[in-house]
Each structure stands twice: as C-alpha cells, then as structure tokens.
A and B are shown apart, each in its own frame.
Chain A
C-alpha cells in the first residue's frame, strides 16, 4: 500500500486516540491512587492520635498508683529510718502486694530509701517461673539502686511529681519476671514532714502488656512502631529490630523513615511518611504511615516517644490497582475503537477523493462521465458538483469544436456554391475508385462536362443568373447518376462525373446523352427562361489511361473535340497509338 493521505490520516487519528485514552487512564489511576493514600494517611493519623492518648492515659494510671503508695504515711516512716522497721515494712508490703495483684502489667513495686546508696526497703517481685506469683524480696537480697536514674532523678522531684525512665530491656539481676523484658520505671518521691525527699516508690511496668494494649483496636493490616527520643525502635513489626541498642546496634526510625528525622530533632509534632526506600529487611516494601511525638512529662531519658502506624502501600492502593487493570482494559478498548474509527474516518474522507480521481482519469481518457458523490452536503460534495459541471462544460465545448472541425473539413473538400465535391475531393475519390477498379477488374468512366456559352449567360444576365444556372445544372447532373457515382465541380463551368464500376461500357454514351438532354431544359430565373447546353468528353479506365490525371486529360480532350464538333454533344476519347 502506498503511504497516501489515508495512511497518514489514519496514523494521526490512531496515535491521537490511543495516546489520549492512555494518558487519561494513567492520570485517573495516579489521581485515585493519591486519593487512597491520602485517605489512608488521614485514617492512620487519626488512629495514631487516639493511640497516643491511650498511651498517655495508661502511663497516667500507673503514675496514680505510684503516688498513692508514696503518699501513704508508712512510706515516709520506712524511708526516714535507717533501721529495719518490720511492722511498717510488713504493712507496706501488703499494700504493694494488693496493688500488684490487681495490675498484672506491673512487674515489681519497690520502696527505696534515699540514703545508703538507694537501698531497697520494701520490694515485691512478680515471679515468672511460679506462674507470676508475687514474692517479697528481703534482707540480703535487697539491692542498692542509687545509681539508677529512677532513684537519683526522682529524688530531685517535688511531691506528686512523676519520673518516667527510659524504656530499656531490664538487666537488673534478681528482677525476676522483669529480667530481660522491655520495661519502663514509673517513680515518684516519698516526701517526709520536712518536705525532704527521703525515698522513692518505683513501679516496674511490663511494656509488652502495654504494647499489647496499644495494639488492640488497630485498623487492619496496620503495623505499630514505637521509638525512643533518639529514634531507636522499641516496637517494630519485626521484633528483631526493636531494642537493638540493647545489644550494641542501632535501628533508627529516621533511617527507615527519613521524614521522621524532623520529629527526632524536635522540629515537628507529627509527620506523614511515605515509602521506606532505604528500609532494610522487613521495611523493604513501600508503606504509608503516620508518626507523632507523644510528650512525656517528668521523664529522664525520654522526654517524648515516637509513635507510628503504617500500612503497606500495596494494601492501601489495592483498590487503585484494581482500577488500574480496569483502566488498562478501557484503554485497550478505547485504543482499538480509536484504531477502527481512524480507519473508518480515513477511508470515509479519502473514498470520495479516490472516486473523483478515478472519474477524472476516465474522463480524461475516454470523455466518460461517471458517478460522483454529488449528493453530499460537505466540501467533498461541492467539489464533486463543481467537477461534474466542469465535465459537462468540457464535453459541450468539445462537441462544438468537433462540429466546427467537420464544417471546415466539408468546406475544404466541397464547392461552396453547389455543394458538390471540389477538385481535391474528386481526385481522392477517383484514386479510391481506381484502386477498387484495378482489384475488381470493372472499368470506370470519367465524364468531363463543360457548359457551352456559360460566359454569355454570366455577361448578359449577371453573376447571380450564372450561379443559378450552375446550381440547377449540378442538381440535374446529380439526379441522373447513381448514388455511388460522384459529381464534382472542378471550377468555373466545368464539372466532372465519375461513373464507378461500369458493368456495360455501352451504357456510358447513354448516360452522356441523358445528361445532355436534361441540361438543355430551360432554367427559371427571376422571370427569365435561361437555356444552356453542355459538351461532354468521356474517358474510360483502363482503356484510356492508367492514372487519374491521364484519364482527366483524355476526358478533357474528348470534351474539346465534342465542343469543336458543334456543342451539345459528347465525344468518347480515342485510343491513342502507343
């Protein structure tokens, strides 16, 4: 196929159609994906805020328990005396045991005195190996805790103020169930009557149970993250990445989610994270998430925690991906439609053009007028109609031209006065007849007719009378020969008659006589009766010559002989000696 207008038009339309549907499809996919991600971000942010409040409330409740114990008069009594006060310690142990028994999330509650390097005075531990039974730790097993921040920091606080420790893995030996577990210590000072901090009450909290509390009511497929103020993960969907600092490594939230760096640096309260480009291992999949700072009052290590929720982007955008496939099908469908339309439109436009091209070709070759789409109302219809009109006009002009041409042809070969063939045409006919005669063997005869005293008629009666005589004579000559014979006017008053295919040579003198008879009949002209006579010379082929000229010359001579023999007569050419 030649790459004509059809091809390019089709290509243009197809490319345009495919491109526009593809772009529209892709744009709508991106937009819907973006909307879904936004919605997920909002959802996660909301859930995260609720979670932050939950965490604060939970910590607040623990602080309340610590305060309750610290404010008990027995606490100050125990911490103020450097000697064992068995009764008071026993009573306090009962209170603490009661508190622990209603709070399974507490590992341990202690009353620690400020002096003697922070010696523990009352201490109840939960013992994992004995089904979480509670045990009072006494005597030599009591330890010095003065070098722990939950002691030395808390001692600097005022009444009812609360210290929250860093969230760590508990490595304190003898801590029973708490050993090796993620722990936060909640402590408050014991203030005596003199407003001196004489001791501290410390509650060790099992963070796993706190984390489990946070994890309830999370939206489906959501991961929970908790990080300390430096960004170290405390809670991570991959447990191996939490508390990595405890074994000397670092797994930082700002490495996995670079956007959270602003939270760690203290430049923001909450942040939306997208993706986990640099995530290692678990975080390799892309996620959307929301992180926020949860401020902690009166805390030592952690002035805030970073709480985060994330969802795999794939889950969030699953609907968009379904939509993507639908869109893909639509795009393919639209593209096919565009292609078909392109082919249709292209051929609709170019079919009439091709039709017209064909019409032009036929018209120019054969002058044939073919069917054109003249019935259309568009530009092509206008073109077709104009072209049709042009064809008609050309055709009529061609006809006229042809007629003119024939007329000229006639004039060139006929005598204008009588309408008889002139000398030129006569010679053509004579040559043709000679050729025929040579083939058929039938002789032909020439009759040279000259009007006698025509000059007198012309001189006495005028040229118009002469013309009338010539016209009348030519008609009489025609009327008395066969149709196949030719009567021509050679000029002036001379006529010549070609008798073709003479069957019987004896008939020729009879024809001459008949002609003479008919010529002499009077001619009516403007009330006058004009009478004219003729002399006729006859030559016969092949008897009197072989060529047209010879035959004419011999006939002419014979005519002169007849004239000199007395006019109104005919004479046959003689056979001349070789």
Chain B
C-alpha cells in the first residue's frame, strides 16, 4: 500500500545514504555541475572523472539553445559550473557577463587539439578583447550530400542547389538564418552573417529561386532521410552534417559528402565556465578531461560529431573550408522573410 511503500522507500534511501556516507566519498564534498548537450557527457566518462578527482559531478542535459540560456542566465541556488555552447550563442553570454575568461594554461589537453583549434584567435567569437572565453570541443559542418548514382561528378559549389538539372530533386533545410547565409555565400558576399542594406532583395530572389528548384525543405534529420529515399533526391543540404550522412548510409543510400568551395557553415560547440562557478579549477579539469583522446574520440564514434583532436575521416569533409557560425545581423528579419518565401510568395516586396 502506498504508505507502507513510501515508508519502505524512505527506509531504503536512509540506509543507502548512510552506506554511501563512507569516508572516501565524504572528503571530496566538491560538486561540479555540468550543463551539456546529449552525447557530451556520457555516464562512463563522468564516472571516470569522479573517480579520478574525487569530486561529484551532476550532469544536466539540454536540447535547445533557449533552454540553455534560461538555465545559465537564471542560475538560482545551485548554479552550473561549466556548460557547452556554440560560438554564435556564446556571444550573448559574454555580453551578459555570465561566463568568465579562461587561461588555457589551466587546460593541459588543449595541446592535443588540431592546429586550427589551437589557433583560437582565428575562430570568431572565442575571444573578446584578447581574453579567451571558451574552449572548442565538438563541431559539425553543413556540407552537401549527393546521390552517387544520379550525380556523376561531385558538386563543388553551393550553386548545385540551384542547378536546374536537379530541379525537384534537391532537399534544402527549412531555416531562415542558415538559408540567408547560404544565399550570401552563393552571391560571394564578404560575410554570410552580416547583410548590408542592399543585399536583402537580391538574397530573397535567390531563395525564391531555390524554393522553385527544390523538392521541399526538411526540418529533422530523419525526415530528410525519408524524403531522400522516397523521392529520388539527388542533392541534399546537410544541415546536420556527417550525422545525417551516417543516417542516410544506415538507410542504405549510396551517398557522397562534399564541402563546397565556398565553404561549409559549421557550428562549433565549446566548453565555457560560468562566472557563478563555485570551483573554476575543477571546471578547467573537466574541460581538460573532455579533451582526452578517448573522451573526445567518442564524440565521433558514438555520436557522429567531429571532435577537435582528429581530422574528419570522410573523404569530402577532410579538406574543406569551414565557416564558423556567428550571430547574424538580424535573425528575426531573416526568419520573417524566410517564412514569407517558404509560404510561396511570388515576390517578396522589400522597402
């Protein structure tokens, strides 16, 4: 009966907590609170870190940028010490003073990273006024996936998405921010993330043209796989990168992957330490631990993400240029315009 069961549970918990209260554990009362994306802090690694440092680690997972922001910006009584965030999102955390500067000397394993990730000043958004705020950890780039059976020579440009030869056989992503960036890259604009006043109409026309050339726009990776399989799709803009490639290959598609010559948009998730962190030293230890080969490699082997220690294994992805995502000039304008375009407006009248 409920009452008895509750009493029993209380008893069991009490006994368990008493048993758990052994000297070895109680010495290390330090607790590290980690906020991460699924796949970034697998349980076996967390346990290993706990064994190694004697600290206790509490991991919370988030699935959305806004949820991440809510949790970090309103820390409450038990703030997070360390969290994973992409470089574009990181900017508003720096603006709000929610993250603290990091001395890379405190993270010995950064030396294991590939040279391009050690050249932190060349990755937009990591530094502010010469101070480092985050350490790169995982990334995915948005290349092009093509059907090897219908596309004879691998596409080398983003323009393949507009190629009338593939009309009705192109899959693009339903997202205004990225699509405007793509349009700017196709048009050879200096920055895909910063539109100038005169650029909008030109880009909107590009995107209407894109709409007229695609089969449709997808949102979820699984959805793209089904559309690809059922509709004879030739070229796919891989918003989810190699993860999507793995899904398609698992579904039996004979597909190739390229990074176009204009470069591929790429998000880069980094570890950042909050200003509310109770133990920044422990947080740095955590970041260094995340950069150990076994832990970082698991990002790729277990979750299909790229890590910062190894070059990507896929033939097309290895050599391409990556365009790290940055905050865009006006995301709501991009979204608004995009909604009108995808709704089928024939001309987007712009003032």
Question: Once bound together, how far apart are the Cα atoms of A171 and B215, in whole Å?
Answer: 18
Closest approach, in angstroms, between the C-beta of A345 and any C-beta of chain B? Answer: 29
Which residues 457-510 in A have Cβ within 8 Å of B in the complex?
Answer: none
Overall SS of chain A's interface:
loop
Does A301 touch B at the CB level, under 8 Å?
A: yes
B343 and A173 contacting across the interface, CB-CB below 8 Å: yes
Which residues 182-218 in B have Cβ within 8 Å of A in the complex?
Answer: 211-212, 214-217
B1 and A145 contacting across the interface, CB-CB below 8 Å: no
Closest approach, in angstroms, between the C-beta of A490 and any C-beta of chain B? Answer: 98
Does A249 touch B at the CB level, under 8 Å?
A: yes
Does B22 touch A at the CB level, under 8 Å?
A: no
Closest approach, in angstroms, between the C-beta of B333 and any C-beta of chain A? Answer: 14
Collect the chain B residues with CB atoms within 8 Å of residue A301's CB.
223
Does A147 touch B at the CB level, under 8 Å?
A: yes
Does B47 touch A at the CB level, under 8 Å?
A: no
B214 and A29 contacting across the interface, CB-CB below 8 Å: no
A321 and B216 contacting across the interface, CB-CB below 8 Å: no
Collect the chain A residues with CB atoms within 8 Å of residue B342's CB.
147, 171-172
B212 and A117 contacting across the interface, CB-CB below 8 Å: yes
Known: A144-B211, A324-B1. A152 touches B346 (CB 8 A): no
Closest approach, in angstroms, between the C-beta of A551 and any C-beta of chain B? Answer: 99
A328 and B343 contacting across the interface, CB-CB below 8 Å: no
Binary per-residue interface labels of chain B (328-351) against chain A in the complex, 1 for a CB within 8 Å, 0 otherwise: 000000000001101111110000
Does B318 touch A at the CB level, under 8 Å?
A: no
Collect the chain B residues with CB atoms within 8 Å of residue A172's CB.
342-344
B212 and A144 contacting across the interface, CB-CB below 8 Å: yes
A321 and B2 contacting across the interface, CB-CB below 8 Å: yes
A144 and B220 contacting across the interface, CB-CB below 8 Å: no
Which of B2, B63, B216, B339 is A171 in contact with, Cβ under 8 Å?
A: B339
A148 and B216 contacting across the interface, CB-CB below 8 Å: yes
A147 and B217 contacting across the interface, CB-CB below 8 Å: yes
Collect the chain B residues with CB atoms within 8 Å of residue A247's CB.
64
B216 and A147 contacting across the interface, CB-CB below 8 Å: yes
Does B168 touch A at the CB level, under 8 Å?
A: yes
Which of A26, A152, A324, A328 is B215 in contact with, Cβ under 8 Å?
A: A152
B220 and A147 contacting across the interface, CB-CB below 8 Å: no
Question: Once bound together, how far apart are the Cα atoms of A171 and B219, in whole Å?
Answer: 13
Does A295 touch B at the CB level, under 8 Å?
A: no
Which of B1, B212, B216, B223 has the most C-beta atoms of chain A within 10 angstroms of its own C-beta? B1
> Nearest chain-B residue to A112 (Cβ)?
B344
Collect the chain A residues with CB atoms within 8 Å of residue B67's CB.
249
Does B51 touch A at the CB level, under 8 Å?
A: no
A171 and B168 contacting across the interface, CB-CB below 8 Å: no
Does B314 touch A at the CB level, under 8 Å?
A: no
Does B222 touch A at the CB level, under 8 Å?
A: yes
Question: Once bound together, how far apart are the Cα atoms of A152 and B217, in whole Å?
Answer: 12
Question: Once bound together, how far apart are the Cα atoms of A140 and B168, in whole Å?
Answer: 24
Question: Once bound together, how far apart are the Cα atoms of A133 and B304, in whole Å?
Answer: 51
Collect the chain B residues with CB atoms within 8 Å of residue A29's CB.
1
Does A52 touch B at the CB level, under 8 Å?
A: no
B346 and A140 contacting across the interface, CB-CB below 8 Å: yes
A147 and B345 contacting across the interface, CB-CB below 8 Å: no
Question: Once bound together, how far apart are the Cα atoms of A149 and B211, in whole Å?
Answer: 13
Which of B211, B212, B216, B347 is A152 in contact with, Cβ under 8 Å?
A: B216
> Nearest chain-B residue to A173 (Cβ)?
B343
Does A174 touch B at the CB level, under 8 Å?
A: yes
> Nearest chain-A residue to B67 (Cβ)?
A249
Question: Once bound together, how far apart are the Cα atoms of A145 and B342, in whole Å?
Answer: 8
Binary per-residue interface labels of chain A (4-30) against chain B in the complex, 1 for a CB within 8 Å, 0 otherwise: 000000000000000000000010010
Collect the chain B residues with CB atoms within 8 Å of residue A173's CB.
339-340, 343, 345
Question: Once bound together, how far apart are the Cα atoms of A172 and B342, in whole Å?
Answer: 7
Binary per-residue interface labels of chain A (122-162) against chain B in the complex, 1 for a CB within 8 Å, 0 otherwise: 00000000000000000010111111110010000000000
B344 and A144 contacting across the interface, CB-CB below 8 Å: yes
Collect the chain B residues with CB atoms within 8 Å of residue A119's CB.
346
Closest approach, in angstroms, between the C-beta of B70 and any C-beta of chain A? Answer: 12
Collect the chain B residues with CB atoms within 8 Å of residue A230's CB.
220, 222
Question: Once bound together, how far apart are the Cα atoms of A557 and B344, in whole Å?
Answer: 172
> Nearest chain-B residue to A320 (Cβ)?
B1
B212 and A146 contacting across the interface, CB-CB below 8 Å: yes
Closest approach, in angstroms, between the C-beta of A393 and any C-beta of chain B? Answer: 61
Known: A152-B168, A301-B223, A321-B1. A147 touches B343 (CB 8 A): no
Which of B231, B339, B346 has the most C-beta atoms of chain A within 10 angstroms of its own C-beta? B346
B212 and A245 contacting across the interface, CB-CB below 8 Å: no
Collect the chain B residues with CB atoms within 8 Å of residue A194's CB.
none
A143 and B343 contacting across the interface, CB-CB below 8 Å: yes
Does A577 touch B at the CB level, under 8 Å?
A: no
Collect the chain A residues with CB atoms within 8 Å of residue B346's CB.
119, 140, 142-144
B211 and A147 contacting across the interface, CB-CB below 8 Å: yes
Does A385 touch B at the CB level, under 8 Å?
A: no
Binary per-residue interface labels of chain A (37-56) against chain B in the complex, 1 for a CB within 8 Å, 0 otherwise: 00000000000000000000
Collect the chain A residues with CB atoms within 8 Å of residue B63's CB.
248-250
Question: Once bound together, how far apart are the Cα atoms of A541 and B220, in whole Å?
Answer: 146
Collect the chain B residues with CB atoms within 8 Å of residue A182's CB.
none
Which of A142, A146, A301 has the most C-beta atoms of chain B within 10 angstroms of its own C-beta? A146
Collect the chain A residues with CB atoms within 8 Å of residue B215's CB.
147, 152
Collect the chain A residues with CB atoms within 8 Å of residue B340's CB.
173
Closest approach, in angstroms, between the C-beta of B239 and any C-beta of chain A? Answer: 12
Question: Once bound together, how far apart are the Cα atoms of A26 and B217, in whole Å?
Answer: 59
Question: Once bound together, how far apart are the Cα atoms of A245 and B64, in whole Å?
Answer: 11
13 A-B pairs besides A142-B346, A147-B217, A321-B1 with CB distance below 8 A are A117-B344, A120-B344, A143-B345, A144-B344, A147-B212, A147-B214, A149-B216, A171-B339, A173-B345, A245-B219, A249-B64, A325-B1, A327-B1
> Could you list 18 A-B pairs, sorted by A, with CB under 8 Å?
A117-B212, A117-B344, A119-B346, A143-B343, A144-B345, A147-B214, A148-B216, A148-B344, A172-B342, A173-B339, A173-B343, A173-B345, A245-B219, A248-B64, A249-B67, A321-B2, A324-B2, A325-B1
Nearest 3 interchain pairs by C-beta: A143-B344, A324-B1, A173-B343
